[in-house]
Structure 1
Amino acid sequence: MTGTNQNFARYEALCQNLRIELIDLLHQKGTGHPGGSLSCCEILTVLYFLKANISPQNLKDPARDKIVLSKGHAAPMLYLLLAEKGFLPKEELKTLRQIDSRLQGHPCAEKLPGVEISSGPLGLAYSAALGLTLGDRLQGNNGSYVYAILGDGELNEGIIWETAMSASKFQADHLITIVDYNHVQLDGTTQQIMPMPELSQKWRAFGYHVICCDGHQLEQLCEAIDGAKQHRGQPTVILADTVKGKGVSFMEGQNIWHGKPIGEEEYQKAIAELRGDKDGTSNS
């Protein structure tokens, strides 16, 4: 066990609330990426609240852990977690994707504390995450870890595998890669767009230690991260099996919800589901 059942219940409740806040925010703004934000909710929650040594108080500490959201389109969920953790005022969330806002459509390290690497062009932030890892090694920050969150559609990018080769060569065992393995990308399923069978074997062939888990189960995610930290001599990838649009039935597994605006009727249905309203309508 990596924590008490009571602790997990607390953060499970937080994840449910974050999903409600996400749908509410994206509906208000008429823009954003709901599907991939919903699928990585537990992954980001575990990192920010249970596993990573990162807080607003230690941002200037070179020995801190670093979290890199390589799948930068899931920025709305990242911003919600940063606000929950105290990196930014919650009131600022209302400025999402507005002119001059720090909360751009993709995370910007120059504008927002807590964002280690600007991401958006898929794959680029993963190579930077490896650079952060090797930089920590050179500086003697041997207790620091870099957590990189990738999308499975992002694995289509060649730079992912170039980075993987380098991480293996340099035995970057303080780089912990988590794949938000939701099986759906912008234009369809990952199987339709670019089949990648035997994904765990592919990562092993690139010299990685591979751990598979349910990406919506907090305890499994914690155990996977603990296992990655205990492994030496190889980088670790955690294939976290998730559902795109998790928590909203009509969004789950549907590529159209990669970036579709949420209309009023859809908003009412989604909020009702997430809040467990018995009549299927929200009173928001």
Structure 2
Amino acid sequence: MNTAELVELAQQLRVDSVRASDAAGSGHPTSSMSAADLMAVLLANHFRYDFERPDHPGNDRFVLSKGHASPLLYAAYKAAGAIDDAELLTFRKQDSRLEGHPTPRRLPWVETATGSLGQGLPVGVGIALAGKRLDHSNYRVWVLCGDSELAEGSVWEAAEHAAYENLDNLTAIFDVNRLGQRGPTRHGHDLDAYARRFQAFGWHTIEVDGHDVDAVDRAYGEAISTTGQPTAIIARTLKGKGVAAVQDREGLHGKPLPEADEAIAELGGPREVRVQVHEPPAARMLHAVRSGHVELPRWDKGDEVATRNAYGQALTALGTGRGDVVALDGEVGDSTRAEFFAKEHPERYFECYIAEQQMVATAVGLATRGWVPYAATFAAFLTRAYDFVRMAAVSGAGLNLVGSHSGVAIGQDGPSQMGLEDLAMMRSVHGSTVLYPCDANQTARLVAAMADCEGIRYLRTSRGESTVIYGPDEEFTVGGSKVLRSSPDDRLTLVAAGVTVPEALAAAEALERDGIRARVIDLYSVKPVDRDTLRRAAEETGCLVTVEDHHEEGGIGDAVLDAFLDGRPVPRLVRLAVRTMPGSASPEEQLRAAGIDAEAIAAAGKLLVEEAVVR
């Protein structure tokens, strides 16, 4: 498009943003209006995309990091012919595909859910990494960001990672409209302040008048021709551009325009400009798909193996059999054992350093391109990236997350390193799967099973060695459990997972010596939980003791309770968990101090069946 045509297209995008928000009675038209020229030039002159084939391997990728500017995105879809005007005016209405913040669950052209600011650029880095290192394709990744989100630390994790990886296929467009939600941003219209920061991280930067379509056009061309560096286009814009009553004025964020008809008239009225988006170049998917035989590692009963070691070995074997599996780690691969995968499959290993937000975002970006990511760090440190996990679920992304060094059982390192909240955190994620194996063979089977699950999958591993109690051919279904001891004379059931399984078995033996038969359930699938087995145990034994190396809120105890929320009687229940703030001690001392070792379990069982001896 020439200059005049671009100006007309930008005005149409503004008008349609105003119309959509007015029809909805809510939305962010002023945030959309500031970026309309940036979007118009990109859509008409530089973006390569086949809207009829959103999975085309040659398509450029666009991420709207400032997701509240969704009216602009939907207006662009209309201009490209992907939606019609009638659908545009369903914006924010029930059952409409055009949600307040865009998600790929509803629209095939959306790469990732946005709306939690500071996430678009990190995910864009992941998509660009896929293009460079995995897909070996020349598609470009364009990310439109707002200036307010530049206060988020995750943006700067992304900035450093993109420059370190020389992602010259990534262009970030910053709509510097000066105004945030409650007033001016930190740096206002000081474009050089932003440019200096990105330059310091190793980016090529271009400062531009975001309303000069010719200057924006040249900036995009310069970004495409830049090699060896990602490019940041820092554009000075005005919020509410084009309507005098709202332009560059505070207090109008997130509100439809007060006089929409007058504003539309001031912008020149509705238009019907159509854009013929450039076709993507011919390309093909080069990465391997799900094929080949997976030969999982095997251990003999009685072997002493840490489940973190089993994770690393199983993931490596999975990567050998499946070319679509990739691994990420947060600079603790020697502890999580992700380094095993890195040595065998370096081309599919991503070191994200101590930047957990960027690690999860990278995993999301890789998943959008069809890869199956496994991202690992200490369970405690995944809390740092929880918002990215939450938004990945909103996206419907398929991620495998692995938290090692969980619980007090890690020993002397102390509470800062102990994941004691992770089960609750991951159980609360929409549609998640939460697994907690107790031995090496179980871990290996579950690592493989995770690859074919949907949504967010979480595997909890342990630091210390544990005795292998299952044979290498034992099967473990997601949503299942294993009954390790049972008899018709059981008077209570001990429910454990992970490091507390051997403690529960030892407690059952001690109880039997005192004449009390106890059933033991290994609840390795914490979500979905095996309700049938738990309900049967409750009916047959009447009493349950849950024991977990986790805080009492949200973990195994609560997962067990969920099996009895259908109106049936709740069994007599004792929940053993970590209730104090641990310090430094040996693993054995930690379990004893927390009251989750075999002795504590046996004592709780005796009290529950009213067999305690008063001394």
- TM-score (normalised: structure 1): 0.89
User: What displacement does 1:196 show?
Assistant: 8.9
1:105 and 2:85 matched: no
For structure 1, the 5+ residue unaligned runs are 277-284
1:176 and 2:185 matched: no
AA at the equivalent of 1:115? V
1:273 and 2:266 matched: yes
Counterparts of 1:85-100 in structure 2, within 5 Å, are 85-100=80-95
User: What displacement does 1:88 show?
Assistant: 2.0
1:241 and 2:226 matched: no
Name the residue aligned to 1:279. Answer: none
Deviations 1:27-64 (A, max 9, x none): 22211101110001111111221101013134221121
- Aligned counterpart in structure 2 of residue 79 of structure 1, from 67, 70, 74: 74
Mapped to 2, the partners of 1:142 and 1:21 lie a distance apart of 34
Change (3 A) 1:190 1:128: same
For 1:57, what is the secondary structure of its paired residue?
A: coil
The count of aligned residue pairs is 269
- Conserved 8 A contact 1:82-1:114: no
- Aligned counterpart in structure 2 of residue 52 of structure 1, from 44, 47, 66: 47
- Aligned counterpart in structure 2 of residue 126 of structure 1, from 109, 116, 121: 121
Deviations 1:57-96 (A, max 9, x none): 3422112101110000000110010121122232111211
For 1:188, what is the secondary structure of its paired residue?
A: coil
For 2:205, what is the secondary structure of its paired residue?
A: strand
AA at the equivalent of 1:244? K
For 1:255, what is the secondary structure of its paired residue?
A: coil
Moved more, 91-100 or 69-78: 91-100
- Conserved 8 A contact 1:136-1:144: yes
AA at the equivalent of 2:184? T
For 1:150, what is the secondary structure of its paired residue?
A: strand
State the Cα RMSD in Å: 2.0
Mapped to 2, the partners of 1:172 and 1:191 lie a distance apart of 28
1:261 and 2:256 matched: yes
Change (3 A) 1:79 1:69: same
User: What displacement does 1:140 show?
Assistant: 4.1
- Aligned counterpart in structure 2 of residue 12 of structure 1, from 7, 22, 25: 7
Structure with the higher helix share, 1 or 2: 1
Name the residue aligned to 2:143. Answer: 148
AA at the equivalent of 1:274? L
Mapped to 2, the partners of 1:238 and 1:262 lie a distance apart of 28
For 1:95, what is the secondary structure of its paired residue?
A: coil
AA at the equivalent of 1:54? Y
Name the residue aligned to 1:208. Answer: 203
Deviations 1:167-220 (A, max 9, x none): 011111111000001111101011489x99722111111111111111112211
Name the residue aligned to 1:222. Answer: 217
Moved more, 58-67 or 179-188: 58-67
Mapped to 1, the partners of 2:217 and 2:211 lie a distance apart of 11
- Conserved 8 A contact 1:87-1:113: no
Deviations 1:203-258 (A, max 9, x none): 11111111111111221111111111111111110001111110011211123221
Name the residue aligned to 2:448. Answer: none
For 1:190, what is the secondary structure of its paired residue?
A: coil
Deviations 1:83-110 (A, max 9, x none): 2112223211121101111100001112
Name the residue aligned to 1:282. Answer: none
Structure 1 or 2, whichever has the larger Rg, is: 2
Q: Identity of paired residues, percent?
A: 37
Mapped to 1, the partners of 2:240 and 2:12 lie a distance apart of 15
- Conserved 8 A contact 1:35-1:258: yes
Mapped to 2, the partners of 1:20 and 1:57 lie a distance apart of 25
Name the residue aligned to 1:117. Answer: 112
Mapped to 1, the partners of 2:192 and 2:172 lie a distance apart of 19
AA at the equivalent of 2:247? E
AA at the equivalent of 1:221? V
For 2:251, what is the secondary structure of its paired residue?
A: helix
| Larger RCO, structure (CA 8 Å, separation 6 or more) | 1
For 1:60, what is the secondary structure of its paired residue?
A: coil
Deviations 1:128-159 (A, max 9, x none): 11100010112344421000011000101110
- Aligned counterpart in structure 2 of residue 136 of structure 1, from 121, 131, 134: 131
Mapped to 1, the partners of 2:187 and 2:219 lie a distance apart of 29
For 1:176, what is the secondary structure of its paired residue?
A: strand
Mapped to 2, the partners of 1:40 and 1:196 lie a distance apart of 15
For 2:252, what is the secondary structure of its paired residue?
A: helix
Mapped to 2, the partners of 1:208 and 1:192 lie a distance apart of 19
- Conserved 8 A contact 1:70-1:149: yes
Mapped to 2, the partners of 1:17 and 1:137 lie a distance apart of 35
Mapped to 1, the partners of 2:231 and 2:261 lie a distance apart of 41
Mapped to 2, the partners of 1:197 and 1:55 lie a distance apart of 36
Change (3 A) 1:183 1:24: same
- Conserved 8 A contact 1:34-1:257: no
- Aligned counterpart in structure 2 of residue 38 of structure 1, from 5, 11, 33: 33
Change (3 A) 1:97 1:226: same
Mapped to 2, the partners of 1:176 and 1:31 lie a distance apart of 30
- Conserved 8 A contact 1:63-1:141: no
Name the residue aligned to 2:427. Answer: none
